[in-house]
Amino acid sequence: MLFGRPSEIARLDRLVDAARDGHSAALVLRGEAGIGKSALLDHCAAHADGFTLLRSSGAEFESELPYAGLHLLLREHVGRIGSLPEPQAAALRAALGLAADGDREWFLVGLAVLSLLTELAEDAPVLCLVDDVHWLDHETTAVLRFVARRLQAEGVVMILTARDSHAPAFAADGIDELTVSPLDDDASGEVLAAHAADLPGYVRDLIRAESSGNPLALRELAAAQREGHLGAETAGIARLPTHGRIQRSFGDRIAALPQGARNLLLIAAADDTRSTTTVLAAAERLGATLDDLDLVESRDLLRPAGEQLLFRHPLIRAAAYQGAATRERAAAHEALATVLDAQVDGYRRAWHLAAATTGTDETVAALLEAETDALLTRGGYAAVTSGYARAAALSPLPAERGRRFLAAARTALDAGQLDRADALADQAARNLADEIALAHVARVRGSAANWRGSPAAAHRIWSDAALRVAPHSQDNASYLLFNAAELAWLTGDFPAAAEDAERAAALGLRNADRVAAIATTAAGINGRAGKTPADGLDALRRMLGVVHTGKGPTALADGTTVVVWHLMLGDHVTGLERAEDLVARCRARGALGVLPRALGLLARARLYSGAHGQALDAATEGVGLAKDIGSSALLFGVPASVLAYLAAIEGDEERCTRLMAEILAMSGDRAGSIGEGPLALLDLGLGRFEAAHERLSTTLARPHRLDLIPYVPDLVESATRLNGPPQLGDAFELFESWATATGMPWARAVVTRCRALLDDANAEEHFTEALATHALPGDRPFEAARTTLLYGEWLRRRRRVNDAKPHLRQAAEAFARFRATVWADRARLELRAAGDSVTAQAPGPDDPFAGLTPQESQVVRLAADGLTNREIGAQLFLSPRTVGYHLYKAYPKLGVASRAELGRLPRSGGG
């Protein structure tokens, strides 16, 4: 019975009851060890009649095998994997060790688990209970977080428990949390009355005072008192934290057991399979018997559960393992290695042999490395990192030690463990003398610095390493210098990029021309180092001619670079085609490590194409996925910047400001070179011309200004609204040169619009030419609407109101389609000033998607294209049930009654 938990029980009961009606939820219970989190899970399990129950728990000593926790959770339902879409099924089978082949990217495994839970929920609601999630392997926790954040309407409830101190941190961003607090005095008294009624009252009072409201402490200190392990030292115990008091009590109780029983507990603590057969076989080698098992069961320390032996509480396991001497732990691991089958449990056996080894041993190191190599085929970079690192520590020879530390550093980087990657790379460097190997160390260290938001540091690492490795490997030197030059571009350090190109040429590298091309592109687009935009775009086209994006481990990442380059060429039409193809390939492969950036680029291309609603959909999904998998500047920044521009266009100052603050906070060294384009556009729309001009002038005046081309038209417009001659420096000439080099009509139209603002005497000629050019294929509709508005304003100021009205009305209608509220208001204000009482309204029948959320909009568009719920779910990383839920919510907003009517909805306009 649970005492003192009415509010917690009520909340959990609501979640379970809602799942019966098809609703989903995820909740993290937090609290100190012994506070009652597991008991609350027991309550949920006991009151979930008719549910499919999945239950698992983490343990401190079993976090080194990838997806081990997931296997325990799903072991009874692996037979249902075959019902999943094939890429998901293959990934999940591979992750669980049920197949040798399959993409093991954890993002795809997460989608497979979400789909499997949905399949199970077709038969009955699902209750997924995971205790001590902080002790699970890295891959399982990543998958559980991914699934928990995406539960919506499947009929699945996931409840996780995490210790809030004295354990690894468990990040639960985007998941609801509930802190389980200590019991009050009355509830503590009820616990003692139920579990310690045989003890004198003054002893119960002492225990209540020492337990600080911790239910496990109340029961355990009472048991310790009965067994004679509490004594009069309670004042000493009180100085320890609660978990320390309880673990010390468990340790005292274990120490009082016979040697055989202690060995049995130690073996059970060291084993990660929890298999009764394995534990008893290994314990027998250390002299334990079934009588010892009976004894620890009678002391309520260990209990059988089917074919497993489980500790009553994780602190018992910790006490059993940590309380043993080093030689005792080594003997336990050696016994486990002896009884494990090398063919079936090769990695576990090797890991136990490594744990049993003190000092160095090349035989064990080589065995562990070989088993870790095999483990790598299952993904699980975090566990693989531990395997390589332990093999390195066991290696007697420096060269082998360094090579294995380098392997560990690479997999730590792949796992996103940047600090760990740095530390392992440093250990590798201390043991390596070969310059080629040291160049690979530099790759790891530079990548970690860049991903952490320090591209300037990464540039130094790669540039210096290139000079050292050039006499030994041209390919490595070329790779390092090319990437160093690209990082210099990202930080706006154009002289550094030029120096990298000069070094590549001086070293006579085969690919020196590529390093020179990227340096020329960076300098030319920004008008630096004597280079023009035409020089930059010519170099960019040359790079496009040699980049390969078909196959290989970097194909998808290279694909994002190609899209960026097309957009830099001003070619959003080709950029849109490439982005759509790239997103489709990412979805097909479940490549969530690239997909957020790809979605951001797709959103940018859609924004340029005038499909603002679809841009919002893609950018929103990209930001959500970036947060799901662990945001970085590279993943989050691109889609978030599109959302910021959309917020600026719509006049949503709070959202625009918040998004820009998030982007800047995540940008590290890049923050100084990031402009304030969205905020300046917001100011322009709101008529704050001086503020817009100040933002843009500040950005363009920075020593390391970065890719200033997009800012120039806004700078021109804001400057011409201020008193005095416009202060533009060389910005307009640079923009004009770039627009000419692109050969894009839309860019030429914007240049002509800027001339109209700068040359009032010939403004009308420029405006009419600009509008005619906007009418050519491949235009950017939002820019055309701005040109139309500016021309209408120019005409009205010259009192040519009849000429102005059609242009102002057209602009107002276009801005309304784009949901550009402040811009539409500006056009309506000009219309009223021109004496026109008819104004364009907000999006109506022409934009039926305006009232949908971004996710509803994506679902509806795909359904209108004829995709099934399952196919839509596979594309959007949602369950089919959630897809159906979004359609159900969207139908009344769209004024339709069935899926068949979706295809008749208009798909143009701002959507």
Single out the residue in 136, 157, 179 at which a domain terminates: 179
The domain that holds 892 is classified in CATH as 1.10.10.10
In the sheet that holds 176-179, the strands lie side by side as: 52-57, 126-131, 156-163, 25-31, 176-179
In a domain, 496, yes or no: no
786 part of a folded domain = yes
706 within a domain of the structure (yes/no): no
Residue 88 lies in a domain: yes
819 in the same domain as 891: no
Give the pLDDT of residue 549: 58
Tell me: the pLDDT tens digits for 96-152?
A: 878 766 556 677 888 889 989 999 998 999 999 999 998 888 888 889 998 998 898
C-alpha torsion 568→571→577→578, nearest 10: -30
Are residues 863 and 816 both part of a single domain? no
Give the separation between CA 864 and CA 868, rounded to whole angstroms. 10
759 part of a folded domain: yes
The count of domains in the chain is: 5
Residue 199 maps to a domain: yes
Last residue of a domain, one of 179, 201, 217: 179
Contact (Cβ atoms closer than 8 angstroms) between residue 264 and residue 236: no
**pTM for the predicted model, two decimal places:** 0.78
> Based on the domain organization, do 234 and 136 belong to the same domain?
no
Q: Which parts of the chain have pLDDT scores under 70?
A: 60-64, 100-105, 165-167, 227-244, 377-380, 548-554, 590, 630-634, 668-674, 703-707, 837-847, 906-911
Asked if 863 and 829 sit in the same domain, the reply is: no
Q: Kindly state whether residues 248 and 263 are assigned to the same domain.
A: no
In a domain, 299, yes or no: yes
CATH code of the domain covering residue 306:
1.10.10
Phi-psi group of 412: left, alpha or beta (phi > 0 → left; psi -120 to 50 → alpha; rest → beta)? alpha
CA dist., res. 834 & res. 795, Å (int): 10
Side chain identity at residue 605, one-letter code: A
Can you give the pLDDT at residue 865?
A: 83
Give residues with Cβ within 8 angstroms of 845, minimum separation 6.
none
Give the other-Cβ count within 10 Å of 231's Cβ.
11
3-class secondary structure per residue, 370-391: HHHHHHHCCCCHHHHHHHHHHH
* Cα angle 727, 730, 731; round to 5: 80
**pLDDT of 236:** 34
Q: Which residue has the tokens 């550009």?
A: 820
Query: Can you tell me the distance from the alpha carbon of 765 to that of 588, in angstroms, rounded to the nearest whole number?
Result: 50
pLDDT of residue 273: 78
pLDDT (tens digit, 9 = 90+) per residue, 359-409? 999 999 999 999 998 877 666 677 788 899 999 999 999 999 999 999 999
Are residues 131 and 189 located together in one domain of the fold?
no
Name the residue among 713, 805, 703 with its Cα closest to residue 751: 713
Of 339, 354, 384, the position where a domain reaches its end is 339
On whether both 146 and 45 belong to a single domain, the answer is yes
How many helices (DSSP H) and strands (DSSP E) are in the chain?
45, 7
Give 26's strand partners: 158
Q: How much is the pLDDT for 290?
A: 93
Kindly state whether residues 150 and 226 are assigned to the same domain. no
In this structure, are 140 and 28 located in the same domain?
Answer: yes
240 part of a folded domain: yes
784 shares its domain with 830: yes
- Amino acid, single-letter form, for residue 679: L
Structural domain range at position 104: 6-179
Residues 50 and 135 both lie in one domain: yes
Same domain flag for 173 and 69: yes
Provide the CATH number for the domain around residue 105. 3.40.50.300
